[in-house]
């Protein structure tokens, strides 16, 4: 999961861990892509507006991976959030969520993307 806001990252981590998922956290796109290259993942959740490489760059880089990884893009960046999420979807994010979203919406999106018995 790549999210620059500490509180949001903490809430997402807690939600995912309670649902039984293993979570690797990053504070920005550079850190997130480095961690992905080291550890791999079945699914990446990325914020869109972040310092040091934004989510759209992350989506583009992840689309180049073989095999492709599932991506959920999230954003709450003011009036442009929906536009950013639409662009992220067109660039290869498989699901998009507008902040604030519910834990149930996040888990439902993950359940649709992860294989049965996934992490």
**Each residue's pLDDT tens digit, 6-55:** 999 999 999 999 999 999 999 999 999 999 999 989 999 999 999 889 99
pLDDT of residue 77: 67
The residue among 81, 114, 16, 65 whose CA lies nearest residue 2 is 16
Strand blocks (E) in 24-113? 43-47, 70-75, 95-98
Per-residue pLDDT of 55-73, as tens digits, reads 999 999 999 887 789 999 9
Task: Count up the domains in the chain and report the number.
Answer: 1
Per-residue pLDDT tens for 85-113? 999 999 999 999 999 999 999 999 999 99
Residue 58 gets which letter from DSSP?
H
Task: Note whether residue 23 is domain-resident.
Answer: yes
Residue 118 lies inside a defined structural domain of this protein: no
Q: Is residue 54 part of a domain?
A: yes
Does residue 48 sit within a domain?
yes
Domain span including residue 109: 6-113
How far apart (Å, rounded) are the C-alpha atoms in residues 84 and 76? 9
pTM (2 d.p.): 0.92
- How far is it, in rounded angstroms, from Cα 45 to Cα 55? 9
Phi, psi of 31 (to 5 degrees): -60, -40
Q: Is 1 a domain residue?
A: no
119 lies in some domain: no
The CATH number linked to 44 is: 3.40.50.2300
State residue 116's pLDDT score.
Answer: 64
């Amino acid at each position: 999961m790549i999210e620059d806001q500490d509180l949001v990252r903490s809430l997402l981590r807690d939600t995912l861990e309670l649902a039984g998922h293993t979570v690797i956290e990053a504070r920005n796109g550079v850190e997130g892509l480095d961690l992905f290259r080291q550890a791999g993942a079945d699914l990446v959740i990325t914020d869109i507006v972040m310092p040091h490489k934004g989510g759209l760059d992350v989506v583009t880089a992840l689309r180049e991976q073989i095999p492709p990884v599932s991506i959920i893009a999230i954003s709450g960046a003011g009036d442009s959030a929906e536009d950013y999420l639409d662009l992220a979807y067109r660039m290869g994010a498989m699901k998009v969520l507008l902040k604030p979203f519910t834990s149930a919406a996040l888990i439902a999106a993950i359940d649709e993307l992860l294989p049965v018995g996934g992490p």
